[in-house]
Amino acid sequence: MTHTMTLPTHGQGHSSSWNHSGNRRSRRWMQSLAAVAFGVASLVGLAEQAQAQTWQLVWQDEFTNGISSNWKFEIGNGQSGWGNNELQYYRRENATVENGNLVITAKREDFGGYRYTSARMITQGLANFRYGKVEARMRLPSRNGLWPAFWMLGSNLGSVGWPASGEIDIMEQINTDPAVYGTVHWQGPDGGHASYGGNVKVDATAYHVYAVEWDPNYIRWFVDGRQFHVVDITNSVNSTEEFQRDFFLLLNMAVGGNWPGFNVDESALPAKMFVDYVRVYKAASATAFNSWVARAPAGLTIRHQASRGRVDQPGSINPAGDGNWKMVTGLAGSGVSFQSQNYPNSYLRQRNGEAWLDQNDGSTQFRQEATFLQAPGLVDGSGVSFQSFTQRDRWLRHRNSLLYVEQINDALARSDATFSSANALTGAATGFSTTLAADGYAQMQGMQLEPSTEGGQNLGWIEANDWVVWNLNLPENGTYTVEYRVASQSGGGTLQLEKAGGSPIYGSLAVPSTGGWQNWTTVSHRVQLNAGQQQIAVKALGSGWNLRYVRVTKS
């Protein structure tokens, strides 16, 4: 496929000239390609799989309630059929919304001296982007004479012209061709037009997600998350500096033209191109931690406490790191996972409809339950909502200060399921205290969970040499008060606090009789503990007692 395109300034109507000659490559195109070999051969292995990168949603149009004000429409037939001898007249009226989809309709309609009408919409001057992931979920008509496209042009088009502005074609398809195409155009080292493209077979009449991932070094093309093409733009190699600047988005469907030809299947008209959404993401830092704030009540921040996911005012989160999360690539291979700052191998995951901080055990089940799919906020499209990877009808939301993964059925729930990122929480460790809940353990041997009369669960059926381990992150070296919520029918048991593995031993306590297995009391001692991420264990030196939680407080 070849492209030769001339784009005058907007004062001349933003007209364009493309020369698509199917599989016939012009001499100039071949010379340009040879001159910009890109080292593509060394990158062939990358074409099998999407790159591992975490993305944060920064812009979207879901077309739920109409077409947003971030788009404007180009009208008419441009110069010489937009330079491609296209046969349609572009009209605003040919872009509508049906069932939450943008629909661009190509019609057999006499208008403005032309036999066909369609629509072309752009974000120029309204939404511009540099780097990131740009994607749209689309369904195409795939009929003779039609040319749907999702693409980008350099925002400096009006001042430098084309091809110096650069162009990124995310997706193009023509006629009934069983392939979609991805291409870049730029001003080559000789000052002329250069281009490089790839294609992949796909059933375009079904919905697919078409995307590019663009950074200062590469542009990669994907269909449904699988890469099919890549271009190296590292250090603006071969005059590719165009791709280190801002671009705007375009959506259109041409009728006829130099590339698809002029044999239009009028029996297929009107024909519709469906766009479920357009989304733009930025690359999240691989090392940065953020906090996540609920839409309402204002300021409530996602955190973990005694392993339970919940929301609290940031001033009450101590240590502050319990409210900080690194958004990493979803452990299931897509989406995102919430990695705790204080417990680096622990992630927020859904468990029986609730959200808990648990240690990654490497299982497929854990990876899936700790993965969420980012979507525009359920309230009004702003902010972010997190959809369960395993149950797509359920979302992360807060209710009565606790986090759940539930179906969303009303306006309050949509608000409770909408969040936005904020700066990482900071603060001194003064007054540090954390509670290690019975069911928040990392590892356990011999003990069993059972319902507690004080709510939640406790560890019971404890015999000598049973043990339980928790993850713990302490802010500083020093003396800590360790409290144990215990119950015993007749007493006589002894517990020992130690580092996981058995050494060192921090201290031991006798468990008194409380007169019943669910009659609770608190015993405590003061021990010396070191700062940092660690695992502590409670070991039973004798049987006959239950344990509800352990609380560690800086003395």
* CA terminus-to-terminus distance, the chain: 72
E runs forming strands in 167-270: 167-172, 179-187, 193-201, 208-214, 218-223, 226-232, 247-255
- CA geometry: angle at 163 spanning 157 and 166, to 5°? 70
Beta strands 88-90; 114-118: pairing state? parallel
Q: Over the range 67-106, which residues count as b (16 or more CB within 10 Å of their CB) and which as e?
A: bbebbebbebbbeebbbbbbbbbbbeebbbeeeebbbbbb
Catalytic residues: 167, 172
CB 378 within 8 A of CB 294: no
Spatial CA neighbour of 189 closest among 35, 38, 40: 35
- Going 201 to 222 to 84 to 233, the CA torsion angle's sign is negative
Q: How far is Cα 400 from Cα 310, in angstroms, rounded to an integer?
A: 9
Paired residues of 57 in beta bridges: 281
Spatial CA neighbour of 402 closest among 548, 304, 298, 293: 304
Residues constituting the chain: 555
Give the number of other CB atoms < 10 A from CB of residue 45.
8
Instruction: Scan for tokens 């239950």, then name that residue.
Output: 546
Dihedrals phi, psi of 439, to nearest 5 degrees:
-90, 10
Dihedrals phi, psi of 62, to nearest 5 degrees:
-90, -10
